């Protein structure tokens, strides 16, 4: 099983590692800084640098649903490394950092909307959350102002864990209506933003909200009788 270094430190940009396996499905490493797609956050991109200096461009990173393998997906057809080869895994940090900003921003948006989350997607420059809301009486300008106020307050973003029993006792922590956090590990990773928001999450986040920078609310779309999509744009 790949050691996921980003769980403990989402600011690691590279690591020395070994190839566990490499086949048409992807390249599995014994440890990695690459986040695998999940929870609405895309998989990381970057490069794998071999000992001979050659580089393999990584287009995506995902987990195999059947085996749980943490797979780095190369760009195009490449000569695959051999199991046991030493590799340096290097993130496309600028892209990952923007995804971290946007993911933390969506948690702040959750704190402002009184409704369950029915879907969402983290993007570099544009992200969205879908909420179970009966009407569209949401004000873009008001939401933009409130969101940027929370960001400017520079709240600390922390990672901790709770037990399965604690989650059962506090079901309101889970904002997603169709997806429940995995409980097979015995504990659930939670992301807290001061006293603003607390919810289970396996994604990568910034250290403080001030790091996000200015954002704006884009379209608020009607996606069904009780489904409102709120688009958020990162302004840089």
Q: What is the CATH number of the domain that holds 144?
A: 3.30.980.10
Q: Are residues 148 and 215 in the same domain?
A: yes
Q: Give the contacts of 198 (CB within 8 A, at least 6 positions apart).
A: 173, 190, 191, 192
Q: Are residues 26 and 127 in the same domain?
A: no
Q: Are residues 36 and 106 in the same domain?
A: no
Tens-place pLDDT, residues 98-110: 999 999 999 999 9
Q: Are residues 86 and 9 in the same domain?
A: yes
Domains: count for the chain: 2
What pLDDT is recorded for position 174?
Answer: 83
Q: Mean pLDDT lowest for which of 160-169, 207-216, 227-236?
A: 160-169
Tens-place pLDDT, residues 34-82: 999 988 999 999 999 999 999 999 999 999 989 989 999 999 999 999 9
Question: What proportion of the chain, given as a percentage, has pLDDT over 90?
Answer: 77
User: What mean pLDDT do residues 171-192 have?
Assistant: 76
Q: Are residues 69 and 131 in the same domain?
A: no
Q: Are residues 213 and 143 in the same domain?
A: yes
Rounded to whole angstroms, the Cα distance separating 14 from 48 reads 10
Q: Give the contacts of 207 (CB within 8 A, at least 6 positions apart).
A: 11, 156, 157
E strand map for 92-226: 117-121, 126-132, 157-163, 187-193, 197-200, 215-222
Half-sphere exposure of 125 (CA within 13 A, CB side): 2
Q: Are residues 83 and 107 in the same domain?
A: no
Residue 123 domain boundaries: 96-234
- Residue 139 pLDDT exceeds 70: yes
Q: Are residues 29 and 102 in the same domain?
A: no
Question: What proportion of the chain, given as a percentage, has pLDDT over 70?
Answer: 95
Last residue of a domain, one of 37, 61, 91: 91
User: What mean pLDDT do residues 160-185 have?
Assistant: 77
Q: Are residues 11 and 68 in the same domain?
A: yes
Tens-place pLDDT, residues 145-156: 999 999 999 999
What pLDDT is recorded for position 179?
Answer: 67
pLDDT band at 177 (very low <50, low <70, confident <90, very high): low
Q: Mean pLDDT lowest for which of 68-72, 136-140, 216-220?
A: 136-140
Of residues 189 and 48, more confidence is placed in 48
- The radius of gyration computed from the CA coordinates of the chain, to the nearest angstrom, equals 19
- Residue 142 pLDDT exceeds 70: yes
Q: Are residues 59 and 73 in the same domain?
A: yes
């Amino acid at each position: 099983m790949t050691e996921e270094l980003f769980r403990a430190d989402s600011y690691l940009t590279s690591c020395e590692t070994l190839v566990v396996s490499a086949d048409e499905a992807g390249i599995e490493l014994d440890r990695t800084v690459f986040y695998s797609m999940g929870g609405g956050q895309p998989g990381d991109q970057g490069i794998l640098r071999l000992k001979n200096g050659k580089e393999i461009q990584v287009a995506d990173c995902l987990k195999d649903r059947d085996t749980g393998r943490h797979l780095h997906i190369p760009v195009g057809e490449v000569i695959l490394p051999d199991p046991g080869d030493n590799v340096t895994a290097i993130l496309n940090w600028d892209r990952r950092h923007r995804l971290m900003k946007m993911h933390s921003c969506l948690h702040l948006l959750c704190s402002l909307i009184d409704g369950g989350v029915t879907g969402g997607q983290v993007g570099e420059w544009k992200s969205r959350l879908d909420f179970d809301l009966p009407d569209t009486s949401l004000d873009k300008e008001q939401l933009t102002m409130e969101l940027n106020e929370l960001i400017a307050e520079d709240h600390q973003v922390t990672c901790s864990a709770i037990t399965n029993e604690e989650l059962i006792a506090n079901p309101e922590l889970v904002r997603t209506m169709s997806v429940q956090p995995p409980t097979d590990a015995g504990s659930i990773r939670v992301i807290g933003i001061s006293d603003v928001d607390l919810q289970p999450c396996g994604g990568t986040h910034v250290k403080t909200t001030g790091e996000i920078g200015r954002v704006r609310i884009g379209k608020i779309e009607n996606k069904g009788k009780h489904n409102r999509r709120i688009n958020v744009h990162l302004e840089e």
